[in-house]
Structure 1
């Protein structure tokens, strides 16, 4: 019975995701679903990314968290249009489903946007299972999390179109093998592009930003 319920939930979500895809295509918006575990530095990466992209690339962000709008406030300071989703109002879901994205996106001026980024709730499991109608999925892994995370949570890295290995500025102080972490990502997803960077120092940021800028341009 639980499997059947889950199947119905995913089927309903897929239908809504397809509806979102049509909406975003009609509006000419490139949508990126950005996922990670809590504490990966995802928000800081986005803040530094938006500083490099805007105002040339008009960007909106939908921020998912169980509680607070702390990340939304930080992202709003970049000048991006930001909408907050808090899931504590309906059970504290650990992911953003397609119907929540539709509801939030319709409050935004999509015709004025080139890029819409969904900062998903920090979790390496549930967000990977829910299509939201995005053009691409990105996963952020930090060097403080362990090289084996791609092997422990393979679906997240299998569905991702690109990966970011963040906080490389900490490598001299940690017992972390970056090459092994990247190798593990490619074991579960051969050919996965991986950008190694530090959002704090901005080392390695440009190749990632160039990929995103190019993806938006191709969509247009």
Structure 2
């Protein structure tokens, strides 16, 4: 029998406290963090590789941290861009948390880094409730995933500062209805910008970098009206989509969740 523990708000409070510290430290260093969320297979790694390459070619000091449950395949791919890249293996955990990110950046993030791209674990439920100290939260969806994705995952899309559509070169082949997708995004996040991209044919490549550079320069960032919801529960498979959107919200004690899943309210400053 599983004991349910009412810790939803305290878990988020601890994460938010660490995220606030991390955001302040990154700001003091002159670094803007970009948190990338998407389903597995959305094409965010390929697009990110193109954006990192464009940043290097334009002389922008950039770095990337990519998180997965297993393998270092994405780090190998991103490293082809020629910028500093670090792989984080979450040992089955379906999202990054602020203290985890802080710990992996400590002693690694190059001092001159101005843009830090964080490729979160592929999942549109688990990462949605956790602030990582980012300036920009970007949610990506491929045309192959369907126009109703924003309605199925309203928390992820509703909290986004920017929405990116990927694999637009396949739009005609899969019958993607762009107008319907846009309308669904507006329903959960009015006013958010939507970028159309294709890493394969180059459409929109560089636009994500431009938005990140705008934020670095102090430009306006879209502020969603949705409030962040409580965290989800972990099922037998942490990588599965589950949580409030799928009707499986259960409280749990994160402190017993496994390797690397420990909360630290007052992390040491980044070095």
Relative to the length of structure 1, the TM-score reads 0.93
Q: Deviations over 1:30-60 (max 9, x none)?
A: 1000110000000011011111111511111
- 2:208 alignment counterpart: 208
Which residues of 2 match residues 108-119 of structure 1 at below 5 A? 108-119=108-119
- Separation in structure 2 between the aligned mates of residue 96 and residue 178 of structure 1, nearest angstrom: 31
Consecutive unaligned residues of structure 2, counting only runs of 5 or more, are 220-271
CA contact (8 A) 1:29 1:110 kept: no
Which residues of 2 match residues 12-161 of structure 1 at below 5 A? 12-55=14-57, 56-88=59-91, 92-161=92-161
CA contact (8 A) 1:28 1:111 kept: no
Q: 1:8 aligned to 7, 10, 16, which one? A: 10
Consecutive unaligned residues of structure 1, counting only runs of 5 or more, are none
- Separation in structure 2 between the aligned mates of residue 136 and residue 212 of structure 1, nearest angstrom: 7
Q: What is the deviation of 1:74?
A: 0.7
Choose 3-12 or 118-127, whichever is displaced more: 3-12
- Separation in structure 1 between the aligned mates of residue 10 and residue 4 of structure 2, nearest angstrom: 10
- Separation in structure 1 between the aligned mates of residue 4 and residue 192 of structure 2, nearest angstrom: 33
Which residues of 2 match residues 170-189 of structure 1 at below 5 A? 170-189=170-189
CA contact (8 A) 2:62 2:113 kept: yes
3-state secondary structure, aligned to 2:139:
strand
3-state secondary structure, aligned to 1:118:
strand
Choose 101-110 or 143-152, whichever is displaced more: 101-110
CA contact (8 A) 2:147 2:178 kept: yes
CA contact (8 A) 1:27 1:110 kept: no
- Separation in structure 1 between the aligned mates of residue 5 and residue 125 of structure 2, nearest angstrom: 17
Count of aligned positions? 216
Bigger-Rg structure (1/2) = 2
Q: What is the deviation of 1:190?
A: 0.3
- Separation in structure 2 between the aligned mates of residue 4 and residue 154 of structure 1, nearest angstrom: 24
Q: Deviations over 1:93-127 (max 9, x none)?
A: 11000011001111324421011111000000111
| CA-atom RMSD in angstroms | 1.5
CA contact (8 A) 2:70 2:89 kept: yes
